[in-house]
Structure 1
Amino acid sequence: MGNKENVLAIIEQTKVISIIRGVRETYAARLIDALLDGGIRCLEITLNTPGALNIIKEARKREGIVVGAGTVLSLEDAQKAIEAGAQFILSPSLSVDIIKYCNSKDILPVPGVFSPTELYTASQAGAELIKVFPAGSVGPRYIKDLLGPFSGMKLLPVGGVSTDNTKEFMKAGAFAVGVGSYLANAELAKCGDFEEITKRAQSFIALAHNA
C-alpha cells in the first residue's frame, strides 16, 4: 500500500483529523501524546504555527499515526513540509499545481474548496480527499447538497466543526472532519491540562463513529 492509500485508509478508520495551530513548540510533544491517548491518529500541523516543521518531525516519531501539514499556500511550502515528513498536504484554497506535485510524490493532497465548481476542478486535477472550508458557516446540509451531484466524493468539512455538529456532518456524508482549536487547544496546552484534551479527543472520536 502506497503512502497516499495508507493515509486515506487511516483517515477513513478514525474519521477525525486534529488540527494543531498556534500551539507553542514547547508543549507540542505532550499535546500530541494527549491527542493519541484520546484515539486521534491523524494530525495536521499548520505551517503558520511557529516551529511547524519541527513539530511535524516530532509527530512523525510516533507509530501508527499519519501527520499532515496545513495552511499550505504555495508549492514551496508543500516541498518544505514534505521534506520535514508530512504525509499529506492541506490547503485552505485550491491549487492545481500543489495537487499535481503531491500526487507525483505519492503524498495525499487535500485542497480547500467552497463552491461546486472548485470541488469539480479539484477532483479533475486528481484530489481524492477534498476539504470544504469554511464548513461551519454553511453547516452539515451543505455537505449533503454537494454530494447530490458529486456522489462518492470524499469531503472533509473544516472550520467551525464542534462536538455539537460532528455527528451531523458525518450523517450528511462527510468522509471525516477536521477539528481545530476546540480539540488541540493552545490555552489548555499552556495550562498543562492535557487530560481535558484527551477527553475531548475521545468525545470527537465517539461522535464521528456513532453517527
Structure 2
Amino acid sequence: MTLNEVLVALPLVAILRGITPAEAVPVSIALYDIGFRCIEVPLNSPDPLESIAAISAHLGDRALIGAGTVLRVDDVARVAKAGGRIIISPNCNVDVIAATKAAGLFSLPAFFTPTEAFSALAAGADGLKLFPAEVAGPVALKAMRAVLPPQCPVLPVGGVDADTIADYLAAGASGFGIGSSLYAPGRDPADVARRGSALIAAFLQHAHHLPTVDRP
C-alpha cells in the first residue's frame, strides 16, 4: 500500500508508542479491521524493530507499516530491513529524509515552521507532519497552508482527538497521526478498536475532499 492509497482510504496514522512485540500484532489487526491502513511503531518503544517485523508479516501489502521517532540515518536501513516502508520523524532532518527516499521508502518528517516545511519538501518528503500540533494549533496550520503546495499532505500530530479533528480539517489538515487518544501501553485490542472507531467516526463526520499526492 502506498502513502497516497492510505490518504485516500483513511488518512489516520495509528501511533503505537510503547507497544511491545507481544501486543503489536493483535492491536494492529484490531486497527486494520476497523479501517486503519497506516501503523507507526516509534523507535523508542520496546523492541520496535521486532514489532514492525511482526506487523509487516501479518498485514503485508494491505497496510503501510513503519517507524516513528526516526532520528538517525542508520535507523532508516534498520527499519527497511524489518519490513517498514514509511519513516516518520519528530523533526526535519534532511539527511534522514534523503536516506529514506534513497531506500525507496515513504518520508513523513515533522515541521513547525514554514522554513522547516520547505526544507523537508526540498529534501524529498512525501508529506509533512505538523508537530506538536497542540502548540501550533489550527490557526498556525491555516496560515502555513496558504503558502505550502496545495497537493502536499499535512498531518497534525500531538493532542489530536475526536473533539479537535473538525477544527484542524477546516484549517487544511489532510489527515492525522493519532497517539495517546488511541493507544497506550497495556490497552487491550478491544479498547483500542473502540477508541479508533470513535476517531474514525469523528473524522468522517467532518472530512471533505482532501488533496493527496503520491511521489515515486
Q: One fold, TM greater than 0.5?
A: yes
2:123 matched to 1:128?
no
Deviation, structure 1 residue 197: 1.2
Following superposition of structure 1 onto structure 2, how do residues 131-150 of structure 1 map, counting pairs within 5 Å? 131-150=129-148
Deviation, structure 1 residue 196: 2.1
2:163 matched to 1:176?
no
Contact 1:68 1:87 in 2 (8 A): yes
Contact 2:43 2:69 in 1 (8 A): yes
Q: 1:81 to 1:146 in 2, by over 3 A?
A: same
Question: CA-to-partner distance for each residue in 1:56-97, whole Å, 9 max, x for gaps?
Answer: 011112151110100000001111111111111001011111
2:198 matched to 1:203?
yes
In 1, Cα distance between equivalents of 2:23 and 2:123: 37
Deviation, structure 1 residue 205: 1.6
Question: CA-to-partner distance for each residue in 1:2-57, whole Å, 9 max, x for gaps?
Answer: x7xx2232133211000011123222222112212222111000011011101101
- State which of 2, 13, 22 in structure 2 corresponds to 1:17: 13
Deviation, structure 1 residue 171: 2.3
Aligned residue identity for 1:78: V
Segments of structure 1 that go 5 or more residues without pairing to the other structure are none
Q: Where do 4+ consecutive residues of structure 1 move more than 4 Å?
A: none
Counterpart residue number, 1:80: 78
SS of the equivalent of 2:135 reads: coil
Q: 1:65 to 1:45 in 2, by over 3 A?
A: same
Count of matched residue positions in the alignment of Structure 1 and Structure 2: 203
SS of the equivalent of 1:99 reads: helix
In 1, Cα distance between equivalents of 2:106 and 2:191: 31
Contact 2:49 2:82 in 1 (8 A): yes
2:32 matched to 1:33?
no
SS of the equivalent of 1:23 reads: coil
Out of 178-187 and 70-79, give the one that drifted further.
Answer: 178-187
SS of the equivalent of 1:175 reads: coil
- State which of 39, 43, 46 in structure 2 corresponds to 1:47: 43
Greater RCO structure (CA 8 Å; 6+ sep): 1
In 1, Cα distance between equivalents of 2:186 and 2:170: 31
Give me the TM-score of the superposition, normalised by structure 2: 0.88
Contact 1:16 1:42 in 2 (8 A): yes
Counterpart residue number, 2:100: 102
Give me the TM-score of the superposition, normalised by structure 1: 0.90
Counterpart residue number, 2:211: none
In 1, Cα distance between equivalents of 2:117 and 2:8: 20
In 2, Cα distance between equivalents of 1:9 and 1:171: 22
Counterpart residue number, 1:164: 163
Counterpart residue number, 2:154: 155
Contact 2:112 2:136 in 1 (8 A): no
SS of the equivalent of 1:86 reads: coil
Contact 1:110 1:131 in 2 (8 A): yes
In 1, Cα distance between equivalents of 2:166 and 2:201: 9
Segments of structure 2 that go 5 or more residues without pairing to the other structure are 207-216
Deviation, structure 1 residue 184: 1.8
Q: What do you get for the CA RMSD once the two structures are aligned?
A: 1.5
Contact 1:15 1:175 in 2 (8 A): yes
